[in-house]
Structures are given as structure tokens and as C-alpha cells.
Structure 1
């Protein structure tokens, strides 16, 4: 087998293999050549080459998101590393284990005007779980410019000291790499390994020269403080109005037995977001559709005593406003890593897995007679009826397009959503419960949706569909510069010629600079991008054409497909705002 000659590169690669990091996304460069040589010549690793580092990091994040295991990205020195930052921030807030491995120049070449050099150690300081700043290997060449070598009195002294330093540096690097990767597993988030390499960079050997120590990953046991559990049980049994709100969650993570118990307790309402991937006929999806028309009295009448949350960040602004205005007496959050005080009323962080907590709580609690869920159920039924009535009588717009699109997505496939208006439109519909739904809600940025979706599609045998707004798609169009896109991958772009969501938000829309600086008007399409990157291109601008195209869109083909749906930018906001008035 071929290995890089540099011991530090060998160490990084061997420890990644020992920890089970199989997927490695490499962006071409020279300084990272030792890493590229090692990863790409080892059959254990599945390597991907993606030029644009920002796209590469989101692509890797899509793989990690789908497999729920750390995925590595490898880049050269300099600004290449900074292009990882959007994905690093998203992974940090979405609890996705992204392993960033950057090559660096030797310390003595930083800050002296050498090319492709920046201050790389701790560059992600505010959005990283751990930064391992490794040390440069020492060479045996006595003319080497060392990092900070001591002055030697004689040759024997020098050789002995160099040997000790080399061993010390190797031990330090092994410890730091182990620690960083272990944290990525334990806390499910991004870590950064910065590895300085000196030239020559391309030398290879056929035998390893180092055998790094592998420090096992320690997982925290699932336990709950007995007094905390007893307090929860006492409060749960006393409360007649309990609300559970589920944020971003991987599919099939909550045991059905607990969902059934919660669904059949009249004192409990369970609100689920589209990205929660949790379903039950007694639960309450489409949160905004249900609560948006409520007035102050309605909010007050439905104020919960206890709000219990688990999962990631919440999309719905309306549920946040409701619970911030009508604060519950108790807010508990269940998670193994962190708890966000989203409603400014958090008083219990239950640091464990939701399944484990429910197994302890529901074994010692009882269903309570209450009119809480029945009252919410009446509202839900009314909203669904009005929703259907309104959709049957509107012109073709974004809202109408989403109705047709969501009906057409094949069962048991994956749906990736762009941010901004896309995920919010989808939240208004009762999603097909066989779909697995994902969205980058950590930072909720429009960057990286396409790259993440492609990474997801590569990591699974299930068909993946991405629904994206036009600005989000164009922003991440380099994500298509990718030789790994499966033929089954599908993209639907809702093109309303600008940032249509800004017409929905409060504010003045008829000012001179609104179209330029807020909505960002454009006349661009995806057609030329599809031609350049080898995607089959379809287009539509009315309901009948859309439904017809959707039938052929999901038929098998020799290449990925993109469907661009043109909607009227000056009508979308009016139809959506009138929707909320109508269902009231």
C-alpha cells in the first residue's frame, strides 16, 4: 500500500481509520497532498473530490446527516479553510459531526508574507467543539529551520534531544487527534484538526513509520437524577394542559409505544414540525396553520402549564411568539448535549435521550381527564377544512405549486428543503408520513442546501428530492459541480424571480430600493446550469403543466433532473397573506 512519507499525515489517516471515519471529501490543493495521498490510496476510505470548499463541506455534512456518523473534509492552507465556515456553523448548531482537517504551513512561514498563509489555529473558535492544533514533525536534517529548537553543545546532545522532541511531538499529536475525533462522536458536532506540513509534500513510502495509540471513545451512560425525575413525575401528574413541541429530529428515533401513550392523553397536545419526522393522527402538524389565526384570548385559553421540547431548532415563528407571550409555568428540554431557552422560560434541562426519559416518566404517570387536546382538536379540524377550501379557489402561485409538488413526491423517499420561504410553505401542509424530511435549520441560511442534499443522496439508496427557492439554488449552484450526483436525484426550484419571502414579511414593499436590495429581482433561470452540469431540465408555469411534468419528472432517467417552477412574484405574497385571513 502507498502511504505519505510525513509521519503526521500517517498519524491523522490511521486514527481516522481506527475511529471508523469512512467518508472523506477532499478539495484539491498542494499543501494537503500528504493527506490526499494517504486517504485516496487506502481502500477503507470512500473519497470524493469537490473543488469548491464551501460546497465540499456542505456535501460532507449531508453525508454525516444521513449516516449519523462523522464525515471528514480535507483542504489545503489559506482561504480554502475559511470557505468551510458556513457548513461548520451549521453543523455546530445542528449537532452534525463534521471533521475538518486542514493542512497548514510551518509556523515559521506564517506572518512573513508567504503565499497561502493565514492564522489557521482556532479559526472556528466560536463555532467548534474542539480545535486540535498539531505540531510540525521534526526532520533529521540538521539544517532544518526548526519551530523553536534549543541550542546544542555537542552532536550527542543534539541527537538525544531531537529524538526526545520527536517522540514528544508524536505523542502530543496523537493525543490531540484522538481527543478531537472522540469529541465529534461524543457530542455530535464539528471539530477542527489543523496539521502543519513542510516540504517535500509528495514523497511516498510503502510502509508505515508510526503506529499511533488509539484512545477509545467513552459514551456517557443514560441516567436521570432521581430527584429531578420525581419532580417531573409530580408536576406532570398535576398538570392538565401539557404541550410537547418537537423540533428537527432524525426519522424513527422515538419508540412508537411512547408516541401512542402521549397521543391518547387528553391533557397532552403534541405539535410536530415537518422536520421532526414524527407522525400520529392525534398529533398536531402544520403549526402555523393551526395557531396563526388565534387572537389574544385564544392564546390565553390554550396556554400550557408545561411545555416539553426535544429535537433541534424550531422553524415556526408563530409558536415561538405564542409561547414567549403566554409563558408556561414549566419548560423542560430533553437532549444529551444542550438546551436552548427558546421561550425564555426554561427551568429543566433533562440531559438524556428522549426514549429513556419517556420510559421513566410514562411508567409512573397517568392519563388525566382534560379538555385541552379536544379543544385543540376542534381547531385543527376547522383549519384543515378552511385550508382545503382556500386552496381549491386560488390562482397558480407558490402556495398552489407546493400543494401539487408535495402530492407527487414518491413514498418512502427523502425530501430535502431549502430555507427561507420553502420550509415555511411546506409547514402549511400535512406531509406524507412515509417521507424523511431534512433541512439545514442550525443557522437557517440559504447557502449550502443543494450541496447538503447531494451529499445526502450519495449516502443513501433512497431517492432524494430537493425543493429550493431560486435565490438559494443560484447561491449554491457550484454544488452541481460534482461528479457524484446519483441519476435518481431530483431538484425542484420555485422561481419567483427574487426573494419572495421579503414581500410576505412586515415592511414597506413599494420603496425605490426594495426590488434591488431586499427582494433582489432577477431574470435568471436554471436552464444553462443544467446544460453545463448535465442535468435534464424541465420547466412549468401553470398548475396543469406542473402536474403533467411531475409525472415524468419521477420516471427513471439516465441523468439527474431539475424542474423549474415559475410563479408570479407580484401575486404570491397576496395569496399567502389572504390565506391566513381566510382560515381565521
Structure 2
């Protein structure tokens, strides 16, 4: 096996290997050549080559999102690194372990007009868990270009000092790399290793010259302070209205036994978002369908005494508006890392896992007599019936298309959702409990949905389907410039010729200003992108065509497939807004 000659590159690669970072997404470049040589020539790593750094970072995010373990992205120096920022911000807010490794030029070449250089240290300062700014390996041959060298009085003194400096720099780099990767593992988030290399960059050796010290990551204690737990138990046993709201959650992370206990308590109302991946017949999915048409009396009847939240960010703007106006007496959040005061009334943050908290709480509490859940169960049934009635009488629009598509997604597969209107339409439907659902809700951006979904698809044996809007798809079209897309991967693009969500929001519609600067009107399609990148291309413009195409769309084939569904942009918003009036 061959290794890069540069000791710092060897150190980075060996410590990534020791900490189980198997997936390495590399964007071609020259300054990162030592890292590329090391990662791509070691069979422990699965290396991917993706040219566009923004797509590469979201691709790596999709892998890390699926595996729940650190994934690395490697780039050359200069502006290449800045293209990682959108995905890194998503990782920061979604709690996804992403390890950014950027090659850099030596310090003496920065700020002097040398090519492909920017100020890389701490460039992600506001959206990073840790930045490790590593030091350049020391060479005896060219001491005039090295950093922080002392004045030597003798040759003997010079040799001893250089040896000491080399050891000191190596120890510093090992410590920083260990610390950064351990933080990514422990806190589940992004970190940055900035790695300066001097030329020559392409030399390699057959034996390692360094053996870095491996510092293992420490496991966080799940224990809850007795005083906090006892107070939770007392309050839980006396509250007649307890609402549980679950945000983004990885599938199969909550134990079924605790879900079953919650389902039997009439004082507990469990609201689940599509991205929560939690299902029970006694719970309440499709939040907006339940609360969208409530009046003041309805909101007062729904207002909880205790709000218990866990999981990531909440999609529903309606539930956020409700809980900010009709605040609970107490809001508890359960998480090992952080608590967002989303509803401006957070008063208890329990730093542990939801499973551990529920195992301690529910074994020492009892069901409380209440009509809270039963009342809203009746509302849920009425809303569901009206939902079906409305769908049967409307014309072909976004809402009708989502009904057909979500019913056709194969069971036991993965569903990736784009942002904006896509994830919000999905929230209105009771999605199969066999599906695993993901969406980039950390920053809620449209910029990397396709790349993330492709990254997810290469990290699993399950079929992955992405549903996305036209703007989101076109914005991330370089995601298809990727030689790693599985043949089973499927994309469904809802093309309503612009940013359809802006037609739902308040504003002046059907004006030149709105069409140009808000909705971003266009007449583009995915057809030629599919031809260029080798995807099968299908279209549907009405319910019959969509039903027919979906029958074969998910079948096996010799290439990935894309189905583009064209819907009438001037009718979509009217149908959706009337939907909420109808189900009231």
C-alpha cells in the first residue's frame, strides 16, 4: 500500500481510520493531493469523487444522515472550501456529524497574492462545533520558510531544536485532530480540519513515518438529576392536558413500549410530523390538518398544561404560531445536545435521550383521567373524512398529485423530501409507517436536497425516492454529475413552473414583479438534464398519466429514473387554500 510522504497527511488519514470514518467524499484538486493519495489507496475507506464542492458536501451529509456516523469531505484550497458552507450549516442545525477537511497553503503564501488562497482558518466560525487549524510539517532543508523558528547559536543546538519543534508540531496536530473528530462524534455535528501543505504534493512512500496517538471519544452520561426527575414525575401525574410534539427524528430510535404507554393515557396528545418517523394509531399526524381551521375556543381547548418536545426542528408554522400564542404552563425539551426555545416558554431542558427519559418517567407515573385525547380523536376522524372527500372532488393540482405519489411509494423504502411546499404538502397526508422519511430541515434550504438524497441512497440497500420542487431540483442540478447514483434511485419533480409556495403566502400575485422576483416564473424542464446525465425520463400532466407512469416507475431498471409531474401553477394555491376551509 502507498501513503502520502507528508507526515501531516498520514496523521489525518490514520486518525480518520482509527475513529471509523469510512466514507470520504473528495473533490479533485491539487493542494489536497496528499489526502487524496492516502484515502483513495486504502481499502478501509470508501472514496467518492464529486467535482462540485457544494454537491459533494450535501452528498456527504446524506451519507452521514443515513448512517448516523461521521463522514468526511475533502477539498483543495481557496474558494472550494466556501462551497461547503450550505451543507455545513445544515449539519450544524440538524446535528449531523460532518468532518470537513480542507487543504491549505503554507502561512507565508497567504495574503501575498498567491493563487487560490483565502483566509481559511475559522472560516465557518458561526456554524461549527470545532475548528482545528493544523500546523505545517517542519522541514530541516528550508528553515527560512518555516513558521516560528528560533535563532540558532550552533549547529548542534539547531538540530536539537528542530527535532523538538517537529515533535511539538506533531503532538499539536495529533491533539487537534483527535479533539475535532471526537467532538463531531460526541456532539453529532460538523467540525473543520484545516490542513496546510507545502510542495511537493504528489510524493508517496510505502511505509508510514508517523504513528499518531489515538484518543477515544468519551460517552456522555444519560443520567438525570433526581430532583429534576422527581419534579417531572409530580407535574406529569397532576396535569390533565399533556401534549407531546415530535420533530425530525431518525427512524426506529424510540422504543415501541414507551409509545404504547403514551397511547393509553387519555391526558396525552402526541403530535407527530412527517419527519418524526414515529407512528401509532392513537397519535396525531398531519398537524396542520387538525389545527388549521380552529377558532379561539378550539385553540383554548387544545392548549396544553405541559408540552414535551424531542427531535429536531418543527416544520409546521401553524403549530408554532399556536404554541407561541397559547403557551403551555410548562415546556420540557429532551435532548442530549441542545434545546431550542421555539415557543418562547422553555423552562426545563433535560440532557438525555428521549428513550432514557421516558423509561424513567413512564415507569413512575400513571394515566390521568381526562377527555383531552378523546375529544381531539373525534376531530381527527372528522378531518380525515373531509380530507378524503375533498381529494375526490378537486382537479389535478399539486395536492392531487401528492395524494397519488405518496400512495405509490414502495413500502419499506426511504423517502427524501425537498423543502418549501414539498415537505408541507407531505405533512397533510398519513404516510405509510413502513417508510423512512428525511428532509434537510436544519436550515430548510432548497439548495442541496437532490445531493443529500443521492448520498443517502448510496449508504443504504433500500430504494430511495426524492420528491422535490422544480426550483429546488434545477438549483441542485449538478447533483446528477455523480457516478455513484444507484440504479434504484428515483426522483419525482413537481413542476409548477416556479416557486409555488409564494402563491400560498400573502402577497400580490399575478403581477410582473411577483412572477419575476418572488415566484421566479420559468418554462424549464428536466428532460435534457436527464439525457445528459443518463437518467430515465418520464412525464405526467394529469391524474391518468400520473397513475399510469407510477405503475412502472419504481420497477427495477438499468438506470436511475426521474418522473416530472406538471401541475397548473394558477390553480394550485386556490385548491390548497380552499382545502383548509373545506375540512373545517
What's 1:62 paired with?
62
What's 1:247 paired with?
247
In the alignment, structure 2 segments of 5+ residues that lack a partner are none
- The reply to whether residue 131 of structure 1 matches residue 100 of structure 2 is no
Secondary structure at the counterpart of residue 492 of structure 1: strand
- The reply to whether residue 567 of structure 1 matches residue 531 of structure 2 is no
**Post-superposition offset of 1:144:** 4.5
2:507 and 2:347 map into 1 onto residues whose CA distance is: 35
CA 1:106–1:395: 2 relative to 1, 3 Å: same
1:50 and 1:503 map into 2 onto residues whose CA distance is: 36
1:498 and 1:155 map into 2 onto residues whose CA distance is: 71
**Post-superposition offset of 1:296:** 1.3
Deviation readout 1:92-149 (Å, 9 max, x if unpaired) = 0000000000000000000000001000000000000000000000112045411221
Deviation readout 1:42-71 (Å, 9 max, x if unpaired) = 010000000000000000000000011000
Secondary structure at the counterpart of residue 121 of structure 1: coil
Secondary structure at the counterpart of residue 333 of structure 1: strand
Deviation readout 1:2-45 (Å, 9 max, x if unpaired) = 00000000000000000010000000000000000000000100
- The reply to whether residue 5 of structure 1 matches residue 9 of structure 2 is no
Secondary structure at the counterpart of residue 342 of structure 1: coil
CA 1:205–1:144: 2 relative to 1, 3 Å: farther
Q: Which moved more, 1:146-155 or 1:469-478?
A: 146-155
Matches within 5 A, 1:278-289: 278-289=278-289
Deviation readout 1:230-269 (Å, 9 max, x if unpaired) = 0000000010000000000001111011000001100000
1:540 and 1:252 map into 2 onto residues whose CA distance is: 35
- The reply to whether residue 487 of structure 1 matches residue 496 of structure 2 is no
Q: Structure 1 segments of 4 or more deviating over 3 A?
A: none
Matches within 5 A, 1:410-559: 410-559=410-559
Secondary structure at the counterpart of residue 120 of structure 2: coil
2:161 and 2:116 map into 1 onto residues whose CA distance is: 32
- The reply to whether residue 223 of structure 1 matches residue 227 of structure 2 is no
**Post-superposition offset of 1:302:** 1.4
2:578 and 2:256 map into 1 onto residues whose CA distance is: 38
1:135 and 1:258 map into 2 onto residues whose CA distance is: 50
What's 2:264 paired with?
264
Secondary structure at the counterpart of residue 393 of structure 2: coil
What's 1:408 paired with?
408
**Post-superposition offset of 1:506:** 1.1
1:142 and 1:454 map into 2 onto residues whose CA distance is: 46
2:37 and 2:80 map into 1 onto residues whose CA distance is: 19
2:6 and 2:308 map into 1 onto residues whose CA distance is: 52
2:16 and 2:203 map into 1 onto residues whose CA distance is: 21
**Post-superposition offset of 1:213:** 0.1
Matches within 5 A, 1:56-95: 56-95=56-95
What's 1:333 paired with?
333
What's 1:22 paired with?
22
What's 2:47 paired with?
47
CA 1:450–1:559: 2 relative to 1, 3 Å: same
Deviation readout 1:524-574 (Å, 9 max, x if unpaired) = 000000000000000010001000000110111000000000000000000
**Post-superposition offset of 1:509:** 1.2
Secondary structure at the counterpart of residue 103 of structure 2: strand
Alignment TM-score, normalising by the size of structure 2 = 1.00
**Post-superposition offset of 1:475:** 0.3
**Post-superposition offset of 1:511:** 3.4
Q: Which moved more, 1:142-151 or 1:421-430?
A: 142-151
1:128 and 1:520 map into 2 onto residues whose CA distance is: 32
2:19 and 2:432 map into 1 onto residues whose CA distance is: 37
2:340 and 2:376 map into 1 onto residues whose CA distance is: 26
What's 2:303 paired with?
303
1:9 and 1:506 map into 2 onto residues whose CA distance is: 54
Secondary structure at the counterpart of residue 24 of structure 2: strand
What's 1:579 paired with?
579
2:480 and 2:265 map into 1 onto residues whose CA distance is: 48
Matches within 5 A, 1:155-234: 155-234=155-234
**Post-superposition offset of 1:153:** 1.5
What's 1:35 paired with?
35
1:295 and 1:150 map into 2 onto residues whose CA distance is: 75
Deviation readout 1:407-443 (Å, 9 max, x if unpaired) = 1000000000000000000000000110000000000
Secondary structure at the counterpart of residue 318 of structure 1: helix
1:573 and 1:44 map into 2 onto residues whose CA distance is: 51
Q: Which moved more, 1:62-71 or 1:134-143?
A: 134-143
1:83 and 1:370 map into 2 onto residues whose CA distance is: 53
Alignment TM-score, normalising by the size of structure 1 = 1.00
- The reply to whether residue 292 of structure 1 matches residue 292 of structure 2 is yes
**Post-superposition offset of 1:178:** 0.1
